[in-house]
């Protein structure tokens, strides 16, 4: 078949319509949130952690039981309608003690994570930006601290200071910020050679503004991922120290102290160990799954 002019019809086109952007543009964080919402496992973990925090705040306030009053007539009762998680050897309600322990664990985890974030970002940002001898001295000091056995630091602090939540937070943050500092330093070393840093310096921005207004915001992705993994590590460490008897003291409820108390009664009263162990495990799993989801969401190589 031979084609002629009659087989073709010119199509009118408005150049302004051709230049219109039909799909709305997304910022980096809007696109990261969109991809995080597509990760059902990460979103389920986020919902669980939000519910955990809300229950830790409100359940001890509205419950008819408290975490410290002893009732020897109710000791070692199995889970029932009156005591959902049973009672311990002093007759205290395990359900309320679990949620009070969640308060302690979340308080320690988020406080240690926040302090590690502040110190690590400042230390790593300064070391990576200035480089040279400043970088060498700062990171070698961090390496020396990292070489000190962690358990030795905790024991020394407990000898000098009184055992409690504050002592645990101090012990966690003495060396806990080093990982964050290394991540931030590596990101700043990559970013400081970019053109936007040269442009900011040409416009008269000082070193502090370049570090905290330009470099650190562009490194927020790895920082958030590291923070999401620091919090569960602090929660587990607090539970481990409390399990060994180096954490909070009675009658304060902690998942670690409850697990330590329930270990001796595992054969006859297994719920005393089962419930704190389940909450420690599920909380750690939720934080790690959420951290993996955040890592995938902020990874620029996965953007479509």
Domains of the chain with bracketed CATH: 38-63+87-302 (1.10.3720.10)
Cα–Cα distance measured from residue 232 to residue 9, given in angstroms and rounded to the nearest whole number: 66
Confidence band of 35 (pLDDT split at 50, 70, 90): confident
Neighbour count for residue 296 (Cβ, 10 Å): 17
Cα–Cα distance measured from residue 238 to residue 15, given in angstroms and rounded to the nearest whole number: 64
Mean pLDDT along residues 252-259:
82
Q: What percent of the chain has pLDDT over 90?
A: 7
Say yes or no to pLDDT of 23 above 80: no
Say yes or no to pLDDT of 108 above 80: yes
Per-residue model confidence (pLDDT) at position 48 = 92
Say yes or no to pLDDT of 131 above 60: yes
Mean pLDDT along residues 75-97:
80
Which of the two residues, 299 and 165, has the higher pLDDT score? 165
Per-residue model confidence (pLDDT) at position 50 = 92
Per-residue model confidence (pLDDT) at position 146 = 84
Per-residue model confidence (pLDDT) at position 20 = 56
* Residue 70 tokens, joined: 């002893």
Say yes or no to pLDDT of 223 above 60: yes
Which of the two residues, 302 and 261, has the higher pLDDT score? 261
Query: How far lies 259's CA from each of 78, 88, 115, in Å?
Result: 16, 11, 27
Rounded to 5 degrees, φ, ψ at 85 are: -110, 15
Mean pLDDT along residues 91-115:
86
Using alpha carbons, select from 51, 40, 91 the residue that is nearest to residue 67. 91
Say yes or no to pLDDT of 303 above 60: no
pTM of the model: 0.80
Say yes or no to pLDDT of 28 above 60: yes
Using alpha carbons, select from 103, 109, 98, 102 the residue that is nearest to residue 273. 98
Mean pLDDT along residues 179-186:
89
Using alpha carbons, select from 302, 297, 298 the residue that is nearest to residue 41. 297
C-beta separation of 105 from 255 below 8 A: yes
Work out the mean pLDDT of the chain and round it to a whole number. Answer: 81
Per-residue model confidence (pLDDT) at position 44 = 92
Mean pLDDT along residues 226-232:
86
Mean pLDDT along residues 22-47:
79
Mean pLDDT along residues 233-238:
85
Cβ neighbors of 101 (< 8 A, separation 6 or more) are: 253, 254, 255, 257, 258, 276, 279
């Amino acid at each position: 078949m031979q084609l002629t002019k009659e087989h073709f019809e010119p199509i009118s086109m408005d150049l302004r319509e051709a230049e219109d952007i039909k799909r709305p543009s997304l910022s980096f964080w809007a696109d990261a949130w969109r991809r995080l919402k597509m990760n059902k496992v990460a979103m389920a973990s986020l919902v669980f952690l939000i519910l955990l925090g809300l229950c830790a705040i409100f359940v001890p306030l509205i419950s008819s039981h408290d975490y410290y009053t002893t009732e020897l007539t109710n000791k070692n009762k199995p889970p029932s309608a009156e005591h959902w998680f049973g009672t311990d050897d002093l007759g205290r309600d395990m359900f309320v003690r679990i949620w009070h322990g969640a308060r302690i664990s979340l308080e320690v985890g988020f406080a240690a994570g926040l302090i590690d974030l502040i110190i690590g970002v400042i230390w790593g940002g300064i070391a990576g930006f200035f480089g040279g001898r400043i970088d060498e001295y700062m990171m070698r000091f961090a390496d020396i601290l990292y070489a000190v056995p962690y358990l030795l630091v905790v024991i020394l602090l407990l000898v000098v200071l009184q055992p409690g939540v504050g002592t645990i937070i101090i012990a966690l943050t003495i060396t806990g910020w080093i990982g964050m500092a290394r991540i931030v330093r590596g990101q700043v070393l990559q970013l400081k050679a970019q053109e936007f840093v040269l442009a900011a310096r040409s416009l008269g921005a000082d070193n502090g503004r370049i570090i905290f207004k330009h470099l650190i915001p562009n490194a927020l992705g790895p920082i958030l991922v590291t923070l999401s993994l620091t919090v569960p590590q602090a929660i587990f460490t607090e539970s481990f120290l409390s399990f060994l008897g180096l954490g909070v003291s009675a009658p304060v409820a902690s998942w670690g102290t409850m697990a330590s108390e329930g270990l001796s009664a595992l054969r006859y009263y297994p719920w005393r160990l089962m419930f704190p162990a389940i909450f420690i495990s599920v909380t750690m799993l939720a934080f790690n799954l959420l951290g993996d989801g955040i890592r995938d969401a902020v990874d620029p190589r996965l953007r479509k």
